[in-house]
Amino acid sequence: MATQISEKQSVSELVITWEALPDDFQLEDEPVENTGQPILAGALRESLEIAGFIQPEMLIASNFGLCATINGDFIAKAPDWLYVPSVKEIIPERKSYTPNLEGDTPGIVMEFLSHTEGGEYSVKRTYPPGKWFFYEQILQVPIYVIFDPDGGLLEFYQLENSRYELKQPDENGLHWIESMGLFLGTWRGEKEARTGYWLRWWNKDDELLLWSVEMINKERQKAEQERQEKERLRDYLKSQGIDPDNLPT
């Protein structure tokens, strides 16, 4: 029988330890609630990869179990997206991650809201505790993002004095993430046949980190501009009575 976390217990009274999960422990299988969530998570990672941000020691994952032991009971919560600056051991196929034991505390966790309540806002303390309580009080993740893909609402919470405080974006509608050296904000457009709101990254110079399809289009536009410039030059030379094909090399 699971040990109960009393509503009257303060966090300081809880026994929180960081232990490896037993080999036979079954992580709760939290199903993806809609097909859009993996696309949103993948898009966040893709632009980081293209920009050369991701390093081998980092852990970036989606729908992935974060673990802790509270009063002797293993707890696992699976945020829709997470970033850990550094892990102690690079494991190609992790099934879960225990902060402090295996490396840094996650720098940021994200939840993408869906039509059904997934417990993103839950501050429930009794076993098993809600996600908000787990991220804020147990793991103490510095930044917690809650994003509504349908309406485009981005709620950006920062841990201050052991409590999440809602932060307003800057004049460009962006939030600075110091641990990543990047801005996070919303963007509306189309990718992978999905038109709507997306979470996107911007660098310190307010430049949008591009997806692969955007990089390809950018290169195509550049090539087309260069072709047009060459054609204009050829036309000009011809107008001056100069054969552009017989110019000295």
CB 52 within 8 A of CB 46: no
Between CA 144 and CA 109 the distance in angstroms is 5
Strands, E, within 108-228: which ranges? 108-112, 143-147, 154-160, 163-167, 175-177, 182-191, 194-202
pLDDT digits 0-9 by tens, 173-213: 999 999 999 999 999 999 988 999 999 999 999 999 999 99
pLDDT for res 176: 98
pLDDT for res 29: 52
pLDDT digits 0-9 by tens, 147-160: 999 999 999 999 99
Cα 187 to Cα 17, 40, 133, 149, distances in angstroms? 39, 12, 29, 10
**pTM of the full structure:** 0.85
Tokens matching residue 62: 């989606």
Whether pLDDT at 216 is above 70: yes
Higher pLDDT, 219 or 100: 100
Higher pLDDT, 35 or 25: 25
| Highest mean pLDDT (candidates 75-89, 113-127, 220-234) | 75-89
pLDDT for res 34: 57
Whether pLDDT at 129 is above 90: no
Q: What is the mean pLDDT of residues 40-69?
A: 95
Between CA 119 and CA 35 the distance in angstroms is 18
Identify which of 120, 123, 175, 170 has the alpha carbon closest to the alpha carbon of residue 149: 120
Tokens matching residue 103: 């490396």
**12 — pLDDT class (breaks 50, 70, 90):** confident
Between CA 20 and CA 72 the distance in angstroms is 12
Between CA 103 and CA 54 the distance in angstroms is 16
Q: DSSP code of 22?
A: P
Tokens 């729908």 -> residue:
63
